[in-house]
Structure 1
């Protein structure tokens, strides 16, 4: 009577089985969360209940098998989440004669945990938005593009941003595919949800599955004791951006394809299917169609990704974008390091004639390096790497920015500066279509451009 009273009044749901797994005693109200009537469990075998799916799995059965204390999480048919801990009881001869298990309904706590994780994901999304605003890279309006090619690309992605269409960015490394992917997310209906970026080439294949799909507690040796949420799961409700998708092995491609087709997944070591809802954007610098022909990329995955393919040209194929990109990164990096470095007009000219094999990434890195390593407030052509100076010297349409007085050996500062200014205004006039574009090209105000045009236009070479 005392033992039954202890079981009935305990905050834990206590269940006692014998050495064969037959239930001897248990809390009367315990079994309702498993979908069983009170009293119907006495004399039942936990193995039978496990086969019927009522115990998934049975903590007492596990303890009987392993003969040591065990703790597990159970998911019941009635939608409850139960944390169960079982202990073996041995007689004086060391034989296992009883198993006592304690269970607690964790459903509400589990829901709070999921809500907390969702809040964490949203917080991460908000932090990303703040960073984007601080870097002035929020939306298509701030994507720096003057070339007709990039203007057309911006129109295309603007048309699909509000949809959930899968987008595949194609193009060489460093052309800004990740920036465009983030801009699409920021303009989409999912902008308040997470933007999860994954570079498929930087995660070792042995870790890729656990990083992408996550794992449950104790899924493998060395795993986090609390389990881990995978990157795909973190993107739920938001956008998943897979960069360098062409680097995935065929085995990983197959696993990714299954998730994309079914929009659900199971963590490693788990048995609970997670329903997913995310927008997919991918990018690669490889020719996926050629990889399909060579058997290095799955055809079905290619069709799944190739819904809206967008080819991003290299920087050398859109020269009109180079001046405004240079100006943008000079301002951005000066602000970042609290400096006031300026680029001499001749330096601008050299940079605008360079081929930029590393594209926008190379341009940004070079400007940052020049601003950090140049002691003088003005950055001259002599500060540039030899490869850039050499490339410029072979450019046929280049004219040295020097005055006639300097050529004749009669150097006069005022006249030399005016001659340099006139040549730069003339070059801007020939390159740009409007006075606003000239102002952006030269880094001065539009009224100043109008004034200088009136001053020098009649002196231009025709």
Structure 2
């Protein structure tokens, strides 16, 4: 009766253990084991009792067999096993001796460590990315000093920079094309800074912001008393203010047709007459224009003068949007984090996952949108580290790859000095909760998570996770 109770107790201990407990005799024949755990090895419970661990090792089920090593070495052994199902198992084995010092049994305890190793790999990848980002910071700083704030790694911007450097020594008109926010004014300033006119004025005019009724007086100026409300001293126009320097007309596609004709005359004759004036003033300036519109299409529709188009289109430069030069995004992110921190005397930093989102987002508003978003999150985030949830929801949802979303949702809840057990528990809870939302049964959950069904049941019970609704 006593032996029966001992046998029953031993069987129950093995059956209910969180570890896979396996006992073999001195020849490696399996005597007892926990049936719930053998699914990770890819075989059914009825396929291992009475089997030799040496045979299972030859078949690749146990790779390698902890029991074979214990019986051979006659001492405790701890190893990592790779199973046919792709799982990683931590196994620890111990020999059992009789009174004569002979090995009569081998006992092993094993536990599926796949999720833990996957988490370790994810953190290693994040560390590698951080090292890469630090390298990009150094590249960024070097290029910033050389190219007047034009930050890039892409070959397309490299080609534009080279063209600007070549044509900056001439007075040829340059037309900058590209969508809003790509930094056309920055390229215009670079062109001026590289030219022989760099010490003279750089006059920037946004043609889309000046009302048509005021355009002529702003551009050409006026003489004293030339119209009601005019200054008694008169006013020098923007064209005259650019004397010996550079006149940059941004959004020239918004220029009224009447003004296009007058601008063309100025470009042809190099003379300007103020409103109410009788004398023409000689002018000398370099013209740079920019637009986000299709000027050729506007010419076809007679919304833009063909002769003016020929005058401004001597050197056309197409600035591609950020989504077409994604390699430029990381150094732009680093640059704006650095400059905005300096501007507001802050020391905010980006979490690695936040960095991933920002560098993978398509940025329809281009460089301007990127700068605005970074300034916003630096000013509004309460913490020193900016996490994904601090980003605008449209960027957070689109920018983050699906496989990283769960990590982003849970990682901020883990304090920086949390121990490994806390990290694993929080991640396991999140994984189980997500699987519970999308799976109808614990068997489906097990398949989705790549673990055994008994493990799913045990973990749900351990964390008190129940289905809602």
- TM-score band by shorter chain is 0.5 to 0.7
Equivalent position SS for 2:244: coil
Asked if the contact 1:194/1:234 (under 8 Å) is kept, the reply is yes
**Larger Cα-atom Rg:** 2
Asked if the contact 2:222/2:275 (under 8 Å) is kept, the reply is yes
Query: Residue 369 of structure 2 aligns with which residue?
Result: 362
2:163 to 129, 149, 156: 156
Change in 2 beyond 3 A, CA 1:368/1:393: closer
1:322 to 298, 313, 329: 329
Shift of 1:142: 3.8
State the Cα deviation string for residues 289-340 of structure 1 (Å, max 9, x = none). Answer: 0000011110000000100000000011110000000000001000000011
Residues in 2 aligned to 1:302 and 1:219: alpha-carbon distance in whole angstroms: 31
Q: Does 1:182 align with 2:189?
A: yes
Residues in 2 aligned to 1:396 and 1:249: alpha-carbon distance in whole angstroms: 51
State the Cα deviation string for residues 340-385 of structure 1 (Å, max 9, x = none). Answer: 1111111000111111111000000111111111111111001111
Residues in 2 aligned to 1:398 and 1:355: alpha-carbon distance in whole angstroms: 17
Shift of 1:280: 0.3
Asked if the contact 2:248/2:289 (under 8 Å) is kept, the reply is yes
Equivalent position SS for 1:256: helix
Query: Residue 244 of structure 2 aligns with which residue?
Result: 237
Residues in 2 aligned to 1:225 and 1:137: alpha-carbon distance in whole angstroms: 45
Matched length: 278
Residues in 2 aligned to 1:137 and 1:220: alpha-carbon distance in whole angstroms: 47
Residues in 2 aligned to 1:414 and 1:196: alpha-carbon distance in whole angstroms: 62
Written as runs of structure 1 = structure 2, the 5 A alignment for 1:105-116 is: none
Change in 2 beyond 3 A, CA 1:378/1:264: same
Asked if the contact 2:353/2:408 (under 8 Å) is kept, the reply is yes
Equivalent position SS for 1:146: coil
State the Cα deviation string for residues 17-58 of structure 1 (Å, max 9, x = none). Answer: xxxxxxxxxxxxxxxxxxxxxxxxxxxxxxxxxxxxxxxxxx
Query: Residue 57 of structure 2 aligns with which residue?
Result: none
Residues in 1 aligned to 2:421 and 2:154: alpha-carbon distance in whole angstroms: 36
Query: Residue 385 of structure 1 aligns with which residue?
Result: 392
State the Cα deviation string for residues 374-426 of structure 1 (Å, max 9, x = none). Answer: 1111110011111111103456798957999x9xxxx8459979xxxxxxxxx
1:145 to 136, 152, 162: 152
Query: Residue 107 of structure 2 aligns with which residue?
Result: none
> Runs of at least 4 residues of structure 1 off by over 6 A?
396-399, 401-404, 414-417
Asked if the contact 1:138/1:183 (under 8 Å) is kept, the reply is no
Change in 2 beyond 3 A, CA 1:395/1:205: farther
Asked if the contact 2:149/2:186 (under 8 Å) is kept, the reply is no
Asked if the contact 1:250/1:296 (under 8 Å) is kept, the reply is yes
Give TM-score, length-normalised by structure 1: 0.57
Asked if the contact 1:171/1:312 (under 8 Å) is kept, the reply is yes
Query: Residue 355 of structure 2 aligns with which residue?
Result: 348
Residues in 2 aligned to 1:344 and 1:397: alpha-carbon distance in whole angstroms: 13
Asked if the contact 1:403/1:416 (under 8 Å) is kept, the reply is no
Query: Residue 172 of structure 2 aligns with which residue?
Result: 165
Equivalent position SS for 2:371: helix
Asked if the contact 1:265/1:274 (under 8 Å) is kept, the reply is yes
State the Cα deviation string for residues 45-74 of structure 1 (Å, max 9, x = none). Answer: xxxxxxxxxxxxxxxxxxxxxxxxxxxxxx
Give TM-score, length-normalised by structure 2: 0.56
Query: Residue 57 of structure 1 aligns with which residue?
Result: none
Written as runs of structure 1 = structure 2, the 5 A alignment for 1:94-113 is: none
Query: Residue 60 of structure 1 aligns with which residue?
Result: none
Residues in 2 aligned to 1:139 and 1:271: alpha-carbon distance in whole angstroms: 46
Asked if the contact 1:169/1:282 (under 8 Å) is kept, the reply is yes
Written as runs of structure 1 = structure 2, the 5 A alignment for 1:248-259 is: 248-259=255-266
Equivalent position SS for 1:267: coil
1:338 to 311, 334, 345: 345
Equivalent position SS for 2:289: strand
Equivalent position SS for 2:290: strand
Residues in 1 aligned to 2:237 and 2:270: alpha-carbon distance in whole angstroms: 14
Equivalent position SS for 2:303: coil
Shift of 1:214: 0.3
Change in 2 beyond 3 A, CA 1:257/1:316: same
Change in 2 beyond 3 A, CA 1:377/1:236: same
Asked if the contact 2:388/2:408 (under 8 Å) is kept, the reply is no
Residues in 2 aligned to 1:397 and 1:147: alpha-carbon distance in whole angstroms: 26
Q: Which ranges of structure 2 fall in alignment gaps of 5 or more residues?
A: 1-142, 425-469
Q: Does 1:292 align with 2:299?
A: yes
Written as runs of structure 1 = structure 2, the 5 A alignment for 1:253-268 is: 253-268=260-275
Query: Residue 231 of structure 2 aligns with which residue?
Result: 224
Written as runs of structure 1 = structure 2, the 5 A alignment for 1:302-313 is: 302-313=309-320
Residues in 1 aligned to 2:233 and 2:146: alpha-carbon distance in whole angstroms: 37
Residues in 2 aligned to 1:176 and 1:271: alpha-carbon distance in whole angstroms: 40
Residues in 1 aligned to 2:343 and 2:281: alpha-carbon distance in whole angstroms: 42
